[in-house]
Amino acid sequence: MLVDGDGEDSALLKRALAGMIDLMPASMALLAPNVNSYRRFQPGMYVPTQASWGA
């Protein structure tokens, strides 16, 4: 369902990822509910500092 016949990412997977990335700013109130949570979100802290999908 998330991989096509050639082993590549399917269109469904790409749409799901795009939706999650699009909603990330609005989700931060749930993912980082207090001031101390936001202190972790800085480069070098092994946390995401930008909305993207990739390795």
- Mean pLDDT in the chain? 87
What predicted TM-score, i.e. pTM, was given to this entire model? 0.67
- Give 8's DSSP letter: S
Nearest Cα residue to 51 out of 27, 31, 21, 15: 21
Give the angle subtended at the CA of 18 by the CAs of 27 and 41, to the nearest 5°.
40
CA atoms within 13 A on the CB side of 14: 6
Side chain identity at 5, as an amino acid letter?
Answer: G
Is residue 41 predicted with pLDDT exceeding 90?
no
The Cα–Cα gap between 28 and 38 comes to 9
